[in-house]
């Protein structure tokens, strides 16, 4: 079904109660009666919950309501003033006069600016504090009795009461040429609202009550996007909004998107990826993280005497005196040299660090060789003349 096609669902909201405006807060429907000066609360199926709030102490004729996520707002038609309430409908004491732009029928907040519908066929723009920006947009070429407006995040919509037609505009209030006739359900629409799925319209307020009509929302063919990362799992973002840790699969609308990836220690981030998704397309994106190799460390190994064999973690790597590039971490260094005791020690070295070892090796002296025999033999020729001289003296 196309957008604004009637679903066939409609009913009187509250018998004998006329309603001028409505609002969907994500859980409940709310509607205002300009005669009894009450705001009525309904469930998601428009069943009245016997809960209402009286706003007549502020205005003689409330014709529009809006909830901005924190506060409720009520337009007083006669006073040409907007009144501010807390989320529980307690009046805050704050009000804003908008009568300098004439009589006002409805109010709307797009998340940045306030907008009003004037009885003179103009749409007026205000800042978030209800200061008039000086900008206004004429819509009388489509309908001389604009009764309500709605912004869906892309387009503006205006309900024309005299033509029984809904008109579509771009974000700058340029008429797109697209319109939808709803007069078969209600000759004079009084309010429109899009809940994210369906369009709704309040019909002509009659003494018997006001009917609500349900229409199809925009027909969107979604796409399926899967995002994964390798060789490690990182956080993934779509248009700067986190989807969580990969892998992630979601159905989204067709269009252009930028995929980016979160940081992981020890890895280079994958480059951002710009994609275009066509309607009904299924696409998978894989971000490749590249491991950053650790910075090498160095050891300088010197020994006395030199020429000792160097073993690092039981692997011979050379001999002293020398320098070597090694991985950071814990290691065992061992030196060996014939006729000398082995020297062994465990050490830790940080990434990029250089360590120097100056090791003195201890000689091995075997038992019985404290006076080496070659020293004794070398000494005999020196002792012989002395012994011979002493022997001659005794003979005399």
> Global pTM?
0.59
Query: Where are the chain's structural domains?
Result: 6-216, 222-291, 297-360
Fold: same for 222-291 and 297-360: yes
Cβ-based neighbours of 69, under 8 Å, separated by 6 or more: none
Would you say the C-alpha torsion 59, 62, 66, 70 has a positive or negative sign?
positive
DSSP states of 111-174: SS-EEEEETTSEEEEE-TTS-EEEEEEE-TTT-SSEEEEEE-SS-EEEEETTTTEEEEE-TTS-
pLDDT one-digit tens code per residue, 230-281: 999 999 999 999 999 999 999 888 889 999 999 999 999 999 999 998 878 8
324 DSSP β-pair partners: 299
Cα–Cα distance, 197 to 191 (Å, whole number)? 17
Q: What is the pLDDT of residue 208?
A: 83
Which stretches does DSSP call E strand in 182-281?
191-194, 198-202, 211-216, 222-230, 235-238, 241-245, 248-253, 255-261, 267-268, 273-277
Please choose, from the candidates 56, 71, 61, the residue with its C-alpha nearest in 3D space to the C-alpha of residue 25.
71
Q: What is the pLDDT of residue 315?
A: 95
Q: Which CATH number fits domain 6-216: 3.30.70.1280, 2.120.10.30, 3.10.129.10, 1.10.3720.10?
A: 2.120.10.30
DSSP states of 75-124: EETTTTEEEEE-TTS-EEEEEEE-GGG--EEEEEE-SS-EEEEETTSEEE
Please choose, from the candidates 297, 283, 246, 288, the residue with its C-alpha nearest in 3D space to the C-alpha of residue 268.
288
Would you put residue 383 in left (φ > 0), alpha (ψ -120 to 50) or beta? alpha
H or E segment at 37?
none
- CATH code for residues 222-291: 2.60.40.1120
H or E segment at 74?
strand 72-76
Helices and strands, number each (H, E), in the chain: 1, 36
Please choose, from the candidates 233, 176, 205, 203, the residue with its C-alpha nearest in 3D space to the C-alpha of residue 18.
205
Cα–Cα distance, 37 to 83 (Å, whole number)? 13
Q: What is the pLDDT of residue 355?
A: 95
Asked if 277 and 252 count as a contact pair (C-beta separation under 8 A), the reply is yes
pLDDT one-digit tens code per residue, 31-65: 999 999 999 999 999 999 999 999 999 999 999 99
Give the angle subtended at the CA of 200 by the CAs of 222 and 111, to the nearest 5°. 70
What does the mean pLDDT of the chain come to?
91
pLDDT one-digit tens code per residue, 65-118: 999 999 999 999 999 999 999 999 999 999 999 999 999 999 999 999 999 999
- CATH code for residues 297-360: 2.60.40.10
Q: What is the pLDDT of residue 297?
A: 93
pLDDT one-digit tens code per residue, 142-193: 999 999 999 999 899 999 999 999 999 999 999 999 999 999 998 899 999 9
pLDDT one-digit tens code per residue, 313-338: 999 999 999 999 998 999 999 999 99
């Amino acid at each position: 079904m196309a957008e604004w096609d009637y679903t066939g669902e409609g009913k009187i909201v509250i018998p004998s109660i006329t309603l001028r405006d409505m609002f969907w807060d994500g859980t409940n429907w709310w509607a205002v009666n300009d005669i009894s000066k009450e705001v009525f609360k309904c469930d998601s199926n428009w069943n009245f919950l016997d809960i209402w709030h009286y706003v007549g102490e502020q205005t003689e004729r409330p014709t529009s309501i809006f909830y901005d996520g924190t506060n409720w707002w009520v337009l007083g038609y006669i006073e040409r003033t907007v009144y501010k309430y807390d989320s529980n409908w307690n009046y805050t004491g704050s009000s804003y006069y908008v009568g300098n732009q004439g009589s006002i029928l409805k109010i709307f907040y797009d998340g940045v600016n306030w907008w009003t519908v004037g009885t003179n066929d103009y749409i007026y723009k205000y800042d978030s504090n209800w200061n008039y920006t000086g900008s206004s947009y004429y819509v009388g070429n489509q309908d001389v009795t604009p009764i309500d407006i709605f912004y869906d995040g892309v387009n503006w919509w205006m309900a024309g009461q005299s033509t029984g037609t809904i008109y579509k505009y771009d974000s700058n209030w340029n008429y797109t040429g697209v319109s939808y006739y709803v007069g078969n359900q209600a000759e004079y629409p009084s309010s429109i609202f899009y809940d994210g799925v369906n369009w709704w319209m309040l019909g002509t307020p009659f003494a018997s009550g006001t009917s609500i009509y349900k229409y199809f929302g925009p027909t969107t063919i979604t796409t399926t996007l899967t995002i994964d990362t390798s060789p490690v799992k990182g956080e993934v973002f779509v248009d700067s909004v986190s989807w969580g840790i990969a892998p992630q699969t979601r159905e989204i609308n067709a269009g252009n998107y930028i995929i980016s990836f979160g940081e992981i220690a020890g890895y280079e981030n994958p480059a951002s990826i710009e994609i275009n998704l066509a309607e009904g397309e299924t696409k998978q994106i894989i971000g490749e993280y590249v491991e950053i190799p650790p910075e090498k460390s160095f050891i300088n190994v010197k020994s006395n005497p030199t020429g000792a064999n160097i073993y690092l973690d039981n692997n011979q790597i050379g001999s002293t005196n020398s320098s070597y590039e090694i991985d950071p971490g814990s290691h065992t260094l061992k030196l060996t040299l014939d006729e000398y005791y082995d020297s062994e020690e465990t050490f830790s070295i940080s990434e990029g660090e250089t360590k120097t070892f100056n090791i003195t090796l201890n000689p091995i002296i075997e038992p019985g060789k404290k006076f080496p025999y070659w020293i004794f033999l070398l000494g005999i020729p020196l002792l012989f003349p002395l012994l011979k001289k002493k022997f001659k003296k005794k003979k005399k």
